[in-house]
Structure formats: C-alpha cells, structure tokens
Structure 1
C-alpha cells in the first residue's frame, strides 16, 4: 500500500492520526457502534464516516516480497526468517516437487505481483517440512501468518468468525514481534534505532494489517447492531481484484463477431445488469441440486471447486462473541512464539498481555 494512501486512511478513521480542524466523524450520516466495554487493544473511534480495507491481495504479496528483499534481515527471536530456507528445501535431494510443490520461480518470481506463486508458499506440505527442521521455525511462522492473511481477506469459503480470528492473530503476532524488536539490543556494530526497521515488515504493510483487522471488526459490530445487512460481510470482494473481474466479464459479454473493446458508462451498467442475472442463475445452480435446474456451463479451471461461498445469516453474526474470539488468537500467537526467546524479554519488561502490549506498541 502506498504510504500516502495509508496516511489518508489513518486520518479519515482517526487511527493514531487526526484532522483537528475537520471533524469528519461528526457527519450526520456517519456509522456509530456501541461498545459494551473499553477494549484496550481496539483503537478505532466509535463514529466512522468511511470504512477502509487495504487491498488484501497486495498485502499478501507485500508480506511475501518482504521475505525476498535483499535489504531486510527478518528475525524472530533466535530464529532467522530467510528465503534461503526454501531454496535449501528445493535443492535437497531428499525432497521432490511432489513433497513441497515448489519451483525456484515460485520462490522468486519475475512478476512480484504473481499471487498464485504466493499461495504455493502456504501449503501444508511445505509447512510440514519446515516444522521438522529446528532451524526454520521462524520462516514457518512467517509463512503461517501469510496463510492467515489469505484466509482472513481473500479465501471465499472462510466463515466470518474464522476471518476475524485469523486477522487478529496476525495483528497480535505483529505487535509482539514489533515490541520485541523495540526492546531488543542486537549484537552488531551497525545496529541502531534507525535501522531496526530491516528486522520487521515494512511500516505500510504493518499499518495495513492493523487497519484491515480493525475495520473488519467494526463492520461485524455494525451488522450485529443491525446497522448493516449481513450481506456486507462478503470480505473477499473488498479488493481491486473483484472490480477487475467484473470489468473483464462485462467485456466478455460482447458478441463473438464484435470488434468493440471499449464502451461507455451506460453500456457498462447495462452489461452489469446482464452479468448480475447470469451470476444469479449460476449461484442457484450451484446451491440447488433439483432435477429441473438449468445446467450452467462452468469453466474447466473451476470445476474442482464445488463448495459454495461461505454465507452468513444475521443469527450467525449475532452469536459471535467478539471478546472470546479476540482472546483466542492472542493466545494462539503466544503459543506460536513460545520457545523463540521473545516472550521472556516481553515478560521481563512487563509488556506481555493484551493491554500492556497494545499500549506499548502505540505509545
């Protein structure tokens, strides 16, 4: 995410930034949620005029690309996070491509925006190989966080409760990691406060993680309090990829003998209505197996995907216990980092805990 856009989002949402002469959140049409109690780990205002999501596909690839950076020296306690661990697996004669599913072009693609190669780094087979090596635990945890980002914002089948849990697990992981870097003094002559950033993900990427998780929770609260319908929780559509897909599909509605590649806004709206009708027929076909169904053609690349999208009813959203769901990913992040010489330092400095950790990160 561009730093200027991140700054604009923080200013509009009041996320540790403010516009003192422009109280945008006091607009009469602004959203408002009522919190049962003061959450020390939640930093959005109760009034929001706009909600923001950083493009999740770009966020996932920024997370992956940080691993490939020649400048970064990512460290997680006594473990290094390195792309060389993945190269070692590919070059190891004990493993074949069947075991890990990787090629060198997947690890370091020419196109840094290639999302399919990014997904390959989150396979369970690769995680199993990394888990069996005591020297690659840092890389394993880093890639597990990448998988959680994909589950939280990109995967179509993830339930909203699982999205919330995955999103906040990444948040707490980053907060613990950043706090450790701030407190730790590494033994190097070139180490200083200025170059500590090379041991962590980029600041725009970290702020994107925080902004997305906060807005996801805010959106769930709006649905719980009946201010938005449950259909607004189709999180996987909150990206530029969905918009680009709609535009491609509307262009594909041209006749086979048509050479027109451009169209007006009016033409786009007319085609979008036809596209909406086709998608409605397709959705009913996938979710209703009655014998009288209209057989809708499906591209061969999508025939393996027989599961319907995860949909949420109002009752399911109402049953979500936010405080319990947030507590679980915090403890999950703690468990993942146990044994990496991180938690001991945080405990010695009295910043281990939901409240002290969050206060220290943003003080």
Structure 2
C-alpha cells in the first residue's frame, strides 16, 4: 500500500495511500487521529503507525472519502490481523472469525485476480481518476499483495483452528489459547523498555546479555508490583505502591486464562464463526463489484479453487542451496578469518586500496578451478536467479559469480560501530 511502484486493485477500485492523505487534508485530526508521518512513514516497520491507520476511528472516517472502498477493505485486513493475533482483549472465538474473514477476503480477491487479464487490470487502473498518472505497473503481480503475505494469512488462520481443536481434545492446555503472548511486538516492547532504563545522560544503547538479564529482572519486579496492585480489590489508599497511569494505558489488560474465552470452545462454535466470516466476506466483495450476489462460489467450491491456485504458486526457498550451488558456509567462514586478520592491520592509503582492488580483480579473472572451490562461482545458473550473479570471463571461460561472493572478495575489513553514540560521530585525528 505504501509502495510507490505498486498499485493494488480490488474489483473496480484501487488501494492507494492518497485516500488517507485526502482524509487528513479534508477532515479534522480529532476524527481520525492521523498525521502525515503515519501515512508516509520513513520506517516501514513502525507498528504504531500501522495501528493508527487501521484503527476503527480512521476506518469510519475513511467512509467520507469517495471511491475508497478498496482501501477500506485493505485496512480492514490489517485491522483483522491485529485483532486476531496481537490484541490481548480479543476472545479466541473472535480471533478465529477475524483470521478467517481475512482468508475469505484474500481468496475471493485472488480468484478474481487470476481470472482477470493484465490488459483488463490496466483498463481498470486507467479509469481510476484519483490515481497519479505516473503510477503504472509493468507486471500483473503488482496489482496484488505479495505471495508470502498470502501464505502467511492462510497458514496462521489454519493454525488458530488447529490449536483450538487440540485444546478441545485436551491435548493442549488452555494457556495455549493466549496467542497474543507469542507475537513479535511483545518482544520488541521488552527491548524498548530495557533500552529506556538507561540514564538520561547515557549514550549507550547496546548492552551485554548479562546486563539485559539484569534489566529484565527489574522490569519483572516492576510489572509484578504494578499488576498486583491493579488486581487488588482493595481501595487505592490500601495499596503499597501507586504508579501514575498514562491515559493510553488506562485500560488494564489481563492476560489470564479467562482472557481467551468466557466459555469453553466447541467445534460448533468454530464452524459457526467460519461460516459467519464467509458470509461477511461475500458482502464486502459485492461492494467492490468483484462478484454479483448470484455469482458467488460456494464455500466448498471456493476452497477447491483456492487449493489449486496455491499449488501453482512458486516461492523460492533461499535457505536450501540449488543443485548448482555448493556449501555456502565456506564464504562466510573464510570471510570471518580474513576480517579477524585485517582487524589488526593499519588502514592503507586510497591509492593502495585502488591497486589492491585491481590486483584482486586480476586474480579473480586468472584464478584456477581449484581456487574458487567452495565459493559461488558456477558454469551455469538458474535463469530466474540471473539478477543475483555477475558474468565473468575466467581463463577464457564464461562464469557466473554470486554478488555476495563478489562483495566478500572486495572487502578488506569489517567496519564496526561503537555502542556509544558519541564515538560514532567522532572523526579520527590524523597526525
């Protein structure tokens, strides 16, 4: 959505950040609580901005922007992910509903996307007058979300149902239903709190494992005191410690067993939740003219079509070397040894560095077959991975050199930054 080279289409409307920018310009901040930095963030991993643009206030305010239904659906997908996997207040049966609502939305969307040709998608984009004229897509895939995101929605939604079935069968304890404890934001929050425990005059942002464990212990004591007093049914005057409460933290969220569900889970409840999600997804698809009410495929038919479509998708697994590749660890091992040796050497002049690079290039071009054994230098490669390799002429033979191997060859040392911020901006005084 925030990409400048991709424009997603859902039916006859486009998903664009311009709708949010128009909302910020035309509406008061009190209605949506958004600023421009939330819509166009420099940090794409800023979860707070993601939480704000997918909030219920922003979602309701966006209804006043014309032709923004596709953007609303996409933001609803993000909001459903938050409610299903991150929020601590969501009941487990509601988690299944939000997760499977996303599954059916994406399935309907992807089925329509595969049946529509690129020329038809280009025609729909040209009819969207609110899209910038300089935004055009070169491939059909740029009109849809990435395949890893598609698989992530499918896998995590099935996992929620699988965990629920294991709990119903008493093969797992009920504590496993607290899936909000396993998201990455909890870990990131602990690291932020540990870094914030440094003094105001300290510029050190990194610390050792021992220091981290000590800070985590302090956080554990503070949290235990805080929540013990908040869970105490006595008056505030009887509490031993009183902590000031920020207005954003006014709601105390309890992550006990009764957070996940007020009643025991049953298979009938899960089936009803999934059927309700399917019904709501069909209504959303009709609003963007992906399907007419009489043309919507049945649940079984949609699942069959989706299974065939997922089988056709190909995702490259870079963790497993291909047939043409040998063991990749030798590059990094040799690189570490060279970096350790170069750490104790003095830096050379610029002219010497240029000569070293030229000599290194000549050595690569004149290397024998046994010299680059263990490195990613091949006679032939997969055409789909051609962008990851350089073409070299070694001893009159055409070879393919992996770009990471080239970087390792041309690197003389490993620059490291100090954990002290002040030392990072200090310049070396040359005598």
Partner in structure 2 of residue 98 of structure 1: 30
1:333 maps onto 2:281 in alignment: yes
1:318 corresponds, among 247, 265, 269, to: 265
Does the C-alpha gap of structure 1 residues 233 and 279 become closer, same or farther in structure 2, counting only changes over 3 Å? farther
TM-score, normalising length: structure 2: 0.59
2:51 to 106, 116, 119: 119
Equivalence for 1:136: 68
TM-aligned CA distance change 1:358 to 1:195, over 3 Å: farther
Give SS of 2:275's match: helix
**Structure 1: which 5+ runs fail to align?**
1-66
The equivalent position to 1:166 in structure 2, one of 93, 98, 115, is 98
Q: What TM-score, normalized to structure 1?
A: 0.69
Contact 1:223 1:317 in 2 (8 A): no
Is 1:226–2:170 an aligned residue pair? yes
Change (3 A) 1:84 1:314: closer
CA change 1:230–1:314 in 2 (3 A) is farther
Once the two structures are superposed, residues 166-199 of structure 1 have per-residue CA deviations (whole angstroms, 9 ceiling, x without a partner) of 11101110001000111123545979xx933211
Deviation at 1:252, TM superposition (A): 7.0
CA drift at 1:154: 1.3
Find the residue that maps to 2:67 and give its secondary structure: helix
Deviation of 1:124 after TM superposition, in Å, equals: 3.1
Paired residue secondary structure (1:318): coil
Distance, in Å, in 2 between the alignment partners of 1:260 and 1:74 is 39
Provide closer, same or farther for how the CA distance between residues 294 and 257 of structure 1 changes in structure 2, counting only shifts above 3 A.
farther
Query: Does residue 294 of structure 1 match 2:240?
Result: yes
Question: Would you say the 8 A contact 2:93–2:261 is kept in 1?
Answer: no
CA distances 1:319-357 after superposition (whole Å, capped 9, x unpaired)? 462111111111111112223221239x65xx7121111
Q: Deviations over 1:82-140 (max 9, x none)?
A: 11112222233xx2222332222111111111111111212333323332344111111
| Alignment match of 1:355 (pick from 290, 300, 306) | 300
User: Equivalent residues in 2 for 1:1-363 (5 A)?
Assistant: 67-92=1-26, 95-185=27-117, 187-188=119-120, 195-247=139-191, 249=193, 262-264=207-209, 275-276=219-220, 278-291=222-235, 292-298=238-244, 300=246, 303-309=249-255, 311-312=257-258, 316-319=263-266, 321-344=269-292, 348=295, 352-363=297-308
**SS in structure 2 at match of 1:297:** coil
Go from structure 1 to structure 2 and tell me whether the alpha carbon gap of 1:82 and 1:235 turns closer, same or farther (over 3 Å shift). same
Distance 1:270 1:230, change over 3 A: farther
Distance 1:272 1:114, change over 3 A: closer
- Tell me how far apart the structure 2 counterparts of residues 137 and 332 of structure 1 sit (CA, whole Å): 15
Aligned-pair distance for 1:273? 5.8
- Note if contact 2:107-2:306 (Cα within 8 Å) is conserved in structure 1: yes
Q: How far apart, CA to CA, are the structure 2 residues paired with 1:239 and 1:131? A: 30
Aligned-pair distance for 1:253? Answer: 7.5
**Distance change (3 Å), C-alpha of 1:91 and 1:156:** same
Structure number with bigger Rg: 2
1: distance between equivalents of 2:195 and 2:46? 23
Q: Give 5+ residue unaligned stretches, structure 2.
A: 124-137, 309-431
> C-alpha root-mean-square deviation of aligned residues, in Å?
3.3
- Please tell me whether the aligned partners of residues 152 and 164 of structure 1 are also in contact (alpha carbons under 8 angstroms): yes
Secondary structure in 1 aligned to 2:263?
helix
Counterpart contact for 1:173–1:333, Cα < 8 Å: yes
Residues 223, 314 of structure 1: 8 Å contact kept: no
Q: What is the CA-CA distance between 1:152 and the residue it aligns to?
A: 0.8
Change (3 A) 1:202 1:99: same
Q: Distance in 2 between matches of 1:237 and 1:209?
A: 18
Greater shift, 276-285 or 331-340, is seen at: 276-285
Which region of structure 1 is more displaced relative to structure 2, 256-265 or 309-318?
256-265
C-alpha distance in structure 2 between counterparts of 1:150 and 1:294, whole Å:
35
